[in-house]
Structure 1
Amino acid sequence: MRLHKQFLRLHERYGAEGETQVTLAEVADTLDCTHRSALTVIGKMAEAEWIRWDSRRGRGKRSGLSFRVTPEEIAAESVADAIGRGDIRGIAGELEGGAPPPEMRERLRESLRAYFGHHSETSTGRQIDTLRLPIRQQLHSLDPLRTNLLAESFVVGHVFDGLVRQEDGSDDILPALAHHWESVGEGRLWTFYLRKDVSFHDGRVLTSEDVVYAFERMRKLPERVLYGFMARNIEEATADGPLAVKIRLRRAHALFLPFLCTSRASIVPKETLRRGEPEFGLHPVGTGPFRVAEFGRDLCVLEAFSPYYLGRAHMDRVEIVNIPWRMQGGEWSGGDSDSPFHVWPGGGPDRRAADDGSGDSPPGSAEPLAGESGGRLLNGALAEVEAEAPTEGDRREAEALSGGAGLAAGVPTEDAGRSAETRAEGAKPKGEARTGSAGRSAEARTEGAGLAGEAGGEIWSRAHAEVFSRKFVTCNTKSGPMRDPALRAAVMAALAGRSAAGGEAEMPPLSLLTIPQYRKDAALIKERLERRGYSCRVRIVTVGDFKGRTRLANDLMLFSLIRDRDEQLRLFDLYLTMSEHSDSKTRLFVRRALRRAADEETPRGRARELDGLEARLIAEHQLHVLYETPLQTTYLPRVRGLRFGAQGWIDLRTVWFPPDEDRPPKTE
C-alpha cells in the first residue's frame, strides 16, 4: 500500500504535465526519502508499468517521467489490496470517508463483492463460517438503552436477550431468559421465573439481581430514550429469590409484554456495568447468541457464543465493516444517511422480472449487499431493499429520498408513497395487518411472490417482512406561528404540493428541525415551502438534542417511523413526544386516546384508537405524511434458516449456507 501512496504523491506533483523532465533529487524530495530509496521506488513503479522512466545518469541530469496509469486505478488497486489482506481500516482509510471517483468504482465494486458476504474455510478439520457486512452508519454504542441508529439496534439484538421474545412477526409472547411468567392485580404485578444456568459472555451466571438492576437502571435513566414511557411506568422491580423477579407497574398497560421483547428491555449484568456505563457501551456483555470480540470506529466483530441457551449460531463470526460512502441508483455519495446497510449496483434481482417476466434490467437496477433497515443482507445470497415511492411530475418533488433503498430487488406495492388519507380508504386496521401473514414462515410468505430476478444463474425468491418506513412532518402548536389553524392548513397544503382552500394565509418565516440522517428530506421540504412563498430555515441537530426541548424553539419537525411488529409501541412513543409540543387541547386529546389504547387487550382494539388519533391530527393539520415505502427481502434459494425479527431483520443465529460446489471451503 505504501507504493500506491508514493505513486499518488508523485502524480499529484507531476501528473498534470504529461511527460516531464525531473531529477532524482526532485523525486526524492517529493517522496520525502533518500536518493537511493527514490531510485528503488521508481524502479518498482516502472516494473509494474505504472510509469515510464527514461533515466539519464549524472549529477543534475534530468530524466523523463510519464504516467501510464491513472491515480484512480492505483487508488482502486490499493483498496483492493487492503480488502485482500483483510485490512478493514485500510478500505475506508484509502478513500478518507469520501465517495470514490468514477474511474475506480467498477474495480472497487468487484473487490468489495468478493470480500463481503459469506466465506467458509476449513482449519484443523473444522469448518469456520464468516459473514461480512458493510454498513454506512458508524456504530457509537452497543448499550441497549443508548442506541440511536438502526445498525446499532441490529447488533444489540444479537448480543443481548430480554425476559421474553417474539418471532417471525407473530404476536405470540415466547420464553427467553424467563421460562414462565404470570400477573395479578389486573396486570399491574408481574412475576418472571428465570432459566437456570444462563451464562453471560464473561462467564457469570444470570441471577434475579441482574434483572432487577437492568430495570432499575432503565427506570432511572435521566435522558430520553425510545419507549421511555414504558420504563417510567415501572414502579419497582424486586428479586424474589435467585431465580424470580417481581415487576410492579404504576398502571396496567397492554403493551408491557411486547415492550419486554424489544432490545430496550435487554438484561445487562449488574457487576459489569458498575465499571462504568460509557465503557460498557464499547465493551458490552450480554447473554445473546453472539459476543462482541472487537468493537471500534470501523469494525465490529461478533463471534458465536457456544453456551447460548437457545442453541449455538451456525455462523462462527460476523464482521460488520463501516464504509461511510454508498452508491444509490448509479450515483456514489457520502454523508449522513438513515440507511445503515449498503445497496450495491449491478447484476442483482430484477424488479421488472417480477412484473412481466421479461428479465430485462430496469435503469438503475441494483444488487443489494445489505438492506435498508438492518440485517437484510448477504452478498450474492440474501438482500433487503426498500421500494421507491411513486414519482410526481416535478423531478424535485419526486424525490422521496428513502435513504439508499428503492432498488431492483424490491417490488413496489400500490401503497408505496400514498398519503395516510388515501391509504385509509378500504385499508385493514393496522392490528389486522400485523397479524395477517406476519406469523407465517419465510418460505410460506414467498408463495405467490413470483420471480424477483436472477443472479449467477439462480432465481431470487422474495419474502415480505411486513415492514414499512414512513416519513412525516409535525407542528409545534404550543408556541409560535403554527398555533394558527389557517397557517397550518396552508403549510401542510404546500408540503403536499397544492394551495390551501380559501387562499394563502400570512407567510411568516418558518424553522424546520430534524437530524442529520434526514438532511435530504429536509432540503426537499424547504424547497417545496419556498416555491409556495414561505421562508424556511432548516436546523440539523443531534439525536440527543432532537429528543429534548429544542423542538419548542421550532415550527416544524421532521420525524421517521418504522412500521414493524413494534409499531404500536412506536406510535405511543411518537404521540407522547408530539403532545409535548402541542396546544393544551390537543395534548389532552392525545393523552386520553393513548390511555384508552393502553387498556385495549387486542391489537385490533388498540389499532382502532391509534388510527382515530392519527386521523384527528391529520384533519387538524398537525401531522402530514410525506411518504411511506415498503421494505422487502430477497434471497437466493441456497440461503437456509431464514427467520425475521421485530423490524423484519434476519436472525443471524439461524442463517446458514450449504456447501457451494463452485467455491469449496478454503483450507489452511
Structure 2
Amino acid sequence: MLDYYYLKLHERFLEMDREEEVEVTLPELTALFQCSGRNVNLVLKRLEALEWIRYTPGRGRGNRSRLKLLIPGETVALETAQDYVRKGDIQQAFAYLEGVPHLQGVKDQFVYWLDTQFGFRPHRKNDRQTDTLRLPYSKRISCLDPAHLYYLVECHIVEQVFDMLVRYREETDTYEGGLAHHWTMSKDEKEWLFYLRKGVYFHHGREMTSEDVKFTLERLKSEELRSPFRWLFADVQEVRCIDRYTVHIRLERANPLFLQHLSYNRASIVPYDAVTEMGERFEQTPIGTGAFKVVQHDANMLVLEAFGRYYDRRAHLDRIEIWYTPELLRKASQLESMCYSMRYEGCSVEGGETPEGWKSIEKTGRDCSFLTFNLELPGPQHSLAFRKAVQHAIDRRLLIPKNEEGDRTYAKWFYEDGQEYSDTDENYDPILARRFLSESGYAGEVLLLNYHNTYGEVCSIQEQLGRIGIRTELVQRHTSCSVEARASEAHLWFHRNIMDEQPELSIIELFLAENSVLRLHLGEELRSGADWLIERLYQESSKGTRRTYLERLRTLVTEQASVIFLFQHTQRTIFHPSLKNVSLGSLGWVRFRDLWFEPAYALSGEEERADLLQT
C-alpha cells in the first residue's frame, strides 16, 4: 500500500526535479491521500523509513513542510509489479501497471523483466534438482476436456495429460498399443476386442479399467454432452465390459478408420468418477493418465507436473508452467517476437535474430491460411461469379510480410507436402476478377471481413478487393470461432488451420465437426455434397481409394470457390543447444515429455565444471 501513496506523490509532483524540495501542507497531503492527518503522518514516516522520501515538517504558524522524492516512481511501480508476479498473481501485475499511466516506459521495462523469467528454470534443494520449463501464452486456455477441444493449444495440452487406447506412429503409418496393449476384430470388422494394460493409473490415484473406456465412448456420442465430435463414434452400437481389462465394441457397420478415431486426442480416455463428480470443473483441471498432471489452472497460469506413476516412460521435465500474459506482452513498443519455449535461462534473442550456436527445426505443409464465405447469410457471396471475383482479385504476394519471404508457399488445399516455393500466383487475374464481378450482380454492398490476429494481411485483402470495386469492413473476433460463426453477420472469414498428424482425419473433421467454421459456412447444398463424399469414403478400405474422395472434396470447394486457399506456412522453432530431444509435434508445439536440458557444467571445461558443481 505504501507504493500507492508514493506514486500519488510522484504523480502530483511529476514535474519536480528529484534534486529539488517542494513545499506542502498537511491539508494538501490529506486531500491527496484521502485519509486523516494522523494517518498521513504514519504514511510519511514509513516512506522515510524506506528511504523513498525526505520529509521536513513545518514548525510553527506559517511554516510549510518540505518534501523531497528520493527514487523514481518507475522503480517503485516496477518492483511492485514484480512482487505480484513472484506471488503468482500475473494478472494483478498487469492491472497494476494499467493504473499508473503517467509512468511512461514502465510497461516496457516490466515486459523486458518478465521476459527473463521464461525458459528453463532449474531449482536445486539439497541433492535434488527440479527442472521447470516456463512459457508465456497471451490468453487463458479455455478448455481441457477432450470432448470439447477447439484450439490447437488445447489439443497439445490434452495430449500431455491424457492417453488414448491406441497410438498412431506417423513415421511408419502404423498403430501401436496405448492404453490397450492388444486388440482383435471380426472378419466383417464390426466386432472389436481391446485388452487394456494393467496398472495404469489416473492422476487421482484410481486404476483405469474397462468401465472408463465404456464411459468415454458413450459420453462422446451422447446427445446430452453435445460434443462436436459425436461423429467419431456415431456408428458405435454397443460398448460392453467383458471384465476389468477387456472391452468389446460393436459397430453398426465396418469402419476402416476406426483405429484412427480411437487414436485421436478427442477420444482420450477420461475417468468416469472424476467427470461425474467435478462437472464443469473438469474442463479446467482435468484428470487423465498422461505423463503430466494438472496441479494448477487459474487466471494466472496453467501448471503441469510430471506424473510419477505414469505407465510409460516418465517425463524428464518435472514441471511446466504456462503463464497467462495479456496483450501487453505483444504491445510493448520495443520488444520483438521471441521463441520463449525454447530459450535457455539467461539467453535472449536480440532484434528477433537467431543467436549464434542455436539450432532450429521446421515443418512445412500442415499450416494453412484460407478464406471462407459465409453461405448461411444472405448477400452477394451466394453468387459463384462473385466468389470467383474475390478469388482472382487477391494477389497473394502482397500478403507476405518481408520477414516471411520464403517461409510460405501458395496453398491449393488444407494439407500438402513437398511443394516448392514459387513467386507466381496463378490465381491472380484482376481483369478476370472484374469480369466475374460484373456478372455477379454485385450492387456495392459493404461486406464484413472477419479475422482474428492477422490485421496486416486482411488490410491488404481489403485494399485489393477495393481496387475492383468490392467494399469491405474489417471485424476482429476475440472468442471461440464456432460460437461467433453461428451468430456472426460477417460474409468473409480469414482462418488459419494446422493439420493433425493424421491429415485424412483432420480434413474429415473440418467438414463434419459441429464446431468447424468451414462446415457452418458451406451452406446446405455444399454440406450435403461433402457429407455424401465422406459417407462414400468410409465405405472404402483402400487408402488410395479414400484419397480419391478427398480429392473430390477438394474439387467441390475449389470449383465452387467456397474456400480460397492462401498459404502453407512454415512452422519453425529455435532452441539452445543444451535442450535435447527436440521434435515438433504435428500441431506445431514441441513434445514436452521427451525434452531435457543438459546441465551447464556438462558443456564446460573441467575447471569450470568443478566450480559449477560446487555452486
Q: TM-score, normalised by structure 2?
A: 0.79
| Structure 1 residue 295: Cα displacement | 1.6
Distance of aligned partners of 1:85 and 1:307 in 2 relative to their CA distance in 1, 3 Å threshold: same
- Distance in 2, matches of 1:490 and 1:21, equals 71
Q: 2:435 aligns with which of 466, 489, 502?
A: 502
| Structure 1 residue 212: Cα displacement | 0.6
Q: 1:368 aligns with which of 329, 333, 339?
A: 339
| Structure 1 residue 287: Cα displacement | 0.8
Contact 1:83–1:115, Cα closer than 8 Å, also in 2: no
AA aligned opposite 2:134: R
| Structure 1 residue 631: Cα displacement | 0.8
AA aligned opposite 1:556: L
| Structure 1 residue 156: Cα displacement | 1.9
The structure that has the greater radius of gyration is 2
Residue 204 of structure 1: SS of its match in structure 2? coil
| Structure 1 residue 127: Cα displacement | 1.9
Report matched runs for 1:28-427 at 5 Å: 28-35=30-37, 37-39=39-41, 41-42=43-44, 55-58=57-60, 61-65=63-67, 71-84=73-86, 87-96=89-98, 103-104=105-106, 107-166=109-168, 171-222=173-224, 225=227, 227-325=229-327, 327=329, 331-332=331-332, 345=335, 366-370=337-341, 377-380=342-345, 408=352
Q: 2:494 aligns with which of 558, 563, 566?
A: 558
- Distance in 2, matches of 1:256 and 1:159, equals 23
Contact 1:224–1:548, Cα closer than 8 Å, also in 2: no
Range that drifts further, 221-230 or 647-656: 221-230
Residue 497 of structure 2: SS of its match in structure 1? strand
| Structure 1 residue 308: Cα displacement | 0.5
Q: 1:462 aligns with which of 354, 360, 379?
A: 360
- Distance in 2, matches of 1:302 and 1:92, equals 23
Contact 1:465–1:631, Cα closer than 8 Å, also in 2: yes
| Structure 1 residue 256: Cα displacement | 3.0
AA aligned opposite 1:591: D
Residue 206 of structure 1: SS of its match in structure 2? coil
- Distance in 2, matches of 1:95 and 1:519, equals 26
Residues 352-394 of structure 1, C-alpha deviation per residue, up to 9 Å, x if partnerless? xxxxxxxxxxxx6x54213xxxxxx4455999x9xxxxxxxxx
Query: What residue is the counterpart of 2:410 in the other structure?
Result: none
- Distance in 1, matches of 2:119 and 2:133, equals 5
Distance of aligned partners of 1:650 and 1:52 in 2 relative to their CA distance in 1, 3 Å threshold: same
C-alpha RMSD of the superposition: 3.8
AA aligned opposite 2:208: L
Q: 1:482 aligns with which of 353, 363, 381?
A: 381
Residues 202-249 of structure 1, C-alpha deviation per residue, up to 9 Å, x if partnerless? 111111111111111111155765544323343332222211222334
Contact 1:168–1:644, Cα closer than 8 Å, also in 2: no
- Distance in 1, matches of 2:531 and 2:102, equals 50
Distance of aligned partners of 1:77 and 1:242 in 2 relative to their CA distance in 1, 3 Å threshold: same
Contact 1:121–1:666, Cα closer than 8 Å, also in 2: no
Contact 1:131–1:378, Cα closer than 8 Å, also in 2: no
Distance of aligned partners of 1:584 and 1:656 in 2 relative to their CA distance in 1, 3 Å threshold: closer
Residue 142 of structure 2: SS of its match in structure 1? coil
Q: Which runs of 5+ in 2 are unaligned?
A: 396-427, 602-607
Range that drifts further, 220-229 or 108-117: 220-229
Contact 1:83–1:91, Cα closer than 8 Å, also in 2: yes
Distance of aligned partners of 1:86 and 1:583 in 2 relative to their CA distance in 1, 3 Å threshold: closer
For these two proteins, the number of residue pairs brought into alignment is 560
Q: 1:569 aligns with which of 505, 510, 516?
A: 505
Report matched runs for 1:432-447 at 5 Å: none
Distance of aligned partners of 1:304 and 1:583 in 2 relative to their CA distance in 1, 3 Å threshold: closer
- Distance in 1, matches of 2:121 and 2:543, equals 42
Distance of aligned partners of 1:186 and 1:49 in 2 relative to their CA distance in 1, 3 Å threshold: farther
Query: What residue is the counterpart of 1:633 in the other structure?
Result: 573
Q: 2:526 aligns with which of 571, 586, 589?
A: 586
Residue 127 of structure 1: SS of its match in structure 2? strand
- Distance in 2, matches of 1:309 and 1:292, equals 17
Distance of aligned partners of 1:253 and 1:490 in 2 relative to their CA distance in 1, 3 Å threshold: same
Q: TM-score, normalised by structure 1?
A: 0.73
- Distance in 1, matches of 2:43 and 2:554, equals 68
- Distance in 2, matches of 1:229 and 1:101, equals 54
Residues 441-462 of structure 1, C-alpha deviation per residue, up to 9 Å, x if partnerless? xxxxxxxxxxx542xxxx1111
- Distance in 2, matches of 1:97 and 1:646, equals 41
- Distance in 2, matches of 1:57 and 1:571, equals 82
Query: What residue is the counterpart of 1:349 in the other structure?
Result: none
Distance of aligned partners of 1:380 and 1:121 in 2 relative to their CA distance in 1, 3 Å threshold: closer
Amino-acid identity (%): 30
| Structure 1 residue 64: Cα displacement | 4.4
Residues 257-284 of structure 1, C-alpha deviation per residue, up to 9 Å, x if partnerless? 2332232111111111212420222332
